[in-house]
Each structure stands twice: as structure tokens, then as C-alpha cells.
Amino acid sequence: MPKKKKRILFAAFEAVPFIKTGGLGDVAGALPAMLNGKDYDVRVVLPKLSSISKEYTDQMEHFTSLEVPLAWRKQYCGIEILHYQGLTYYFLDNEYYFRRDRAYGYGDDCERIAFFSKAILEMLQYLPDFIPDLIHCNDWHTALVPVFLHEHYGHLTQYQGIKTLFTIHNLKFQGIYPKANIGDILGLGGTPAEPQLEYGDTINFMKGAAYYADWLSTVSPSYAQEICTEYYGERLDWLFRSRQGRLSGILNGIDTKEYDPSADPLIPANFTVDDLSGKAACKAALQQTLGLEVRPDVPLVTMISRLTEQKGMDLLVFILDEFLHEDVQVAVLGVGDERYEHDMRYFSSVFPGKCAAALKFDAALSHQFYAGSDLLLMPSQFEPCGLSQMIAMRYGTLPVVRETGGLKDSVKPYNRYTGEGTGFSFANYNAHELLFTLKAAAQLYREEPDAFAGLRRNAMEADFSWAASAEQYKALYHTLLAKG
């Protein structure tokens, strides 16, 4: 008799290809498909946001309608089902909350997010064939699911065996709202959850999940350790330290089909680890596109990022004048804080042919940056996982990173004595450590091409597919569900 599959409900507010505002969308779009299989029946629940393409909404089937209790309110919720690429998706429909131009950033986000979390749990009473063994919640948008499950549904028989895993993708965003909402919207006033959600004179959704979820995870092993420290813990480090026995980190993967230099249709020439002639063509094309001198002998350093302090822009602008006096080229792709956009315009005007700034979001151009660069810069203050460094390595572009979070876990620093490594790194958030590391990387490119080529091969052969990450999640699910 075949073993019964464990049922996993993967809850998120965004997932590619339906909704994407950031890295969470990539994770929720890729991971469930890798987990679904002989051991696990994985299904995904999402809000039916108005930004979802008609291509997908036309394929959705209305399953049922229900009322969701939200404190004193009773709100409509429609359940739409979509079968897409072997997965079942549940879309929760309420035009009052979800017919918006953006996913987040509204004055009633507290109520919108609370509705979504409550509706997920209400929905389970209407699914005849799917009561999950585990709900995998992601970021603050689903942080109330473990809280509501325990406080509002724990007395119901069909809910009593459900476990919860809460994954933190970025601790910076926690869902913090005025304390009055705990009764008026959440309906949790006077319950044991009230002190667990309190956060000074506010309430904090993520704090609630950190208390109530059966297990906590982050998107890299180092970030799981970092959030237990005061520097990275965003005022919740004490709580994560108290739960370290049920806190783990699993590094995200990347879509190795989308980011494949041998078949990428968005780059001027394709190439492989054994034939890099196409990469040289990509570099020349990128230099020409950006108005840089077309020179194969000069290292091209790029940054593909939001231009913010968190991404290390303050370090870069501090040392850029000195670095550009070296025989190097620097180009930046992205948008962000006005002061950093102004700085990059300034350096581009002072160092024509050596520095360029593409101050926009351009997905196709980002592929050309990955393919045509020699070095990719990521000097982040903190980085829960980071994907750019992994993508860059696929294209033979060596990352220069600060040793934090997923950057530390995914980039092996160059060892000049053994030739090992997949990039370059520095430890402290310090502008001159960044400068010295960049100079050393550029010098290696110019003066030791064989050593640089060896690093490039190492980077291109590293495995950052979702398959490796999925196996770790499966093991975590097994551990969690085996605890009974």
C-alpha cells in the first residue's frame, strides 16, 4: 500500500508568475513545485490581487464563497482554484481588500493582511479533500496564521493536528500597527495572544508568529544566526534566541533555466563554462551599450541593486573616486534613494568611458549586466539571502560581497594559495575594506588571468538550483511532522 502523502499548504502574499514585488515572489513561485511529489502534496494559497494577469484569472474556477469573521466584521471571501504546471493554487477573492494597484502600502494594510490570514484558515473548513498537516507561512503577511490557528481554531477537531512553519524572508518588515487594532480588527483583545503581539505601544505581526509557530526558518543559515544578535535582530533578537532550538536557515535557490548563459535569449551571445568566447562578446556589447571604452583587458565591475544604504551604496560612493583612478570600469543598474542616483550621475560625468549609471529597472538589461561583467558588487549591510550573487556566478561574473547572511553562505572567498573560491569578500561594514577587496579583485583580473579564470570556472560550476534547497525543506518538514 503506497505511503500517504503529507499535505502542505504554502501561504504567501505573492508568487511568480502571478504577483511579484520582491524576492518572496521568486521563492513562492519556485519552491512549492520542487517540494510537490511522492512524499508531499503541496498546494499554494494567495490573494487574488487585481494585478494578476487576465491570462491566469480566466483559467480560475470559482469553488465556493464564505464569510470570514474579523473581530465584529463578517467579510465575503471567494475561493478560486487554478491548476497550473502541476500545482493547485487557491486564490482568495475580496475586491474591497485586493482590488488595488499595488500589493502593499495602503493605510488599511493591517486589516487587509489580517483578513488574508483569517481567510486561509476559514477556507480549510470548505476543502473536503485537503486539511493540511502543515501550513508553511512566509513573511509578515501570513504571520497571523499561527496566532489565529491557536487562538481561534485550536478547539476544532480538524485543526488540532496542523503544524506551522514560519519563514522570515526579511526581518526588516514585521507588520507593526497601532495597538487598538488588536481588538477592533484582529479580535484578539483579552486573549493570551495580546501580550505576545504587543510591541511597545504597538502590535507586531511577526512577533506573534515568532511565539506561536511550531518552527521558524530564515532564507540562509547565517541569517538565522544573525537575527539572534542585537545588530541584526531588529529588536526581536531576544525572542529568536529563546527559540534557537526551533530556528534554522535554508539558503534560497535560483531559477537555473531563466538564468542559463548557454540558452539565455536576452544576452548578445551565449556561452558555457568550457567556451567563454560568448562572454567576451557580451562584455564588449555591454561596454558599448553603456558608453564605456570597449576594452577586454580592463575589469568591468557592476552593481545590480536598489540604490539604498542597506545595499552598501554609502560605502561605494565613499570610495568610488579613488577606485576609478585605477584601470577599471564601474557600472550601476537600478533605482533608489535620490542622493545615490545623484552621486552615480556625478561620477559618470566626471569619469566618462570609465563609469556608467543606468538608473532604471530593466530586466533584460540586468541579464546583459550579469553576462557582460567581470565582477558584481554586493557590499550589503545585511542580506537575508540575496539572489544576484548566485545569478552572477552562473554567468561567470565573480561576486565581491560583504560577509553577511546569504552572501556569506553562497560566496566562497578566493584563496590565493589553493586557488579555491567563487568570489571575493570582506568582513566589516567599512569603506576601505571594500576598497582593498575591490582593488585586489581587479588586480587579479589584470595580472593573473589564469587564477581569475580558475575562480570563474569554480563559480559557474557551483549548484544554486532549487533542488538542493528543496531537499533541506523536505527534511525540515519531516522533522516537524514527525514530532506529532
Confidence of residue 22 (pLDDT cuts 50, 70, 90): confident
pLDDT grade for 484, boundaries at 50, 70 and 90: low
Res 70 pLDDT > 80? yes
Report pLDDT digits (tens) over 137-185: 999 999 999 999 999 998 989 899 999 999 999 999 999 999 999 999 9
Confidence at 80, pLDDT banded by 50, 70, 90 = very high
pLDDT in tens, 243-274: 999 999 999 999 899 999 999 999 999 999 99
**Residues contacting residue 264 through CB under 8 Å, at least 6 positions apart:** 270, 367, 371
Report residue 115's pLDDT band, with 50, 70 and 90 as the boundaries.
very high
pLDDT of 315 reads: 98
pLDDT surpasses 60 at 19:
yes
Domains of the chain: 6-253+467-482 (3.40.50.2000), 277-463 (3.40.50.2000)
Q: What percentage of the chain reaches a pLDDT higher than 90?
A: 93
Average pLDDT, the chain: 95
Mean pLDDT of 339-357: 97
Using the predicted structure, report yes or no on whether residue 2 has a pLDDT greater than 80. Answer: no
pLDDT in tens, 389-421: 999 999 999 999 999 999 999 999 999 999 999
> For 353-375, what is the mean pLDDT?
96
- Kindly tell me if the per-residue pLDDT of 452 is higher than 90: yes
Confidence of residue 1 (pLDDT cuts 50, 70, 90): low
Q: Looking at residue 251, what is its pLDDT?
A: 96
Verify cis geometry, omega within 30 degrees of 0, for the bond prior to 17.
Answer: yes
Reported as a pLDDT band with limits 50, 70 and 90, residue 214 is very high
Supply the pLDDT for residue 480: 95
pLDDT at position 128 is: 83
What residues pair up with 258 in beta bridges, in sequence order? none
Count H helices and E strands in the chain, helices first: 19, 18
pTM of the model as a whole: 0.93
Q: Given this model, what pLDDT does residue 313 score?
A: 97
Please, what is the angle between helix 205-212 and helix 144-152, to 10°? 60
> HEC profile for 321-363?
HHHHCCCCEEEEECCECHHHHHHHHHHHHHCCCCEEEECCCCH
At residue 105, the pLDDT reads 87
* Closest C-alpha to 63, from 131, 158, 130, 127: 127
Chain centre to alpha carbon of residue 152: 30
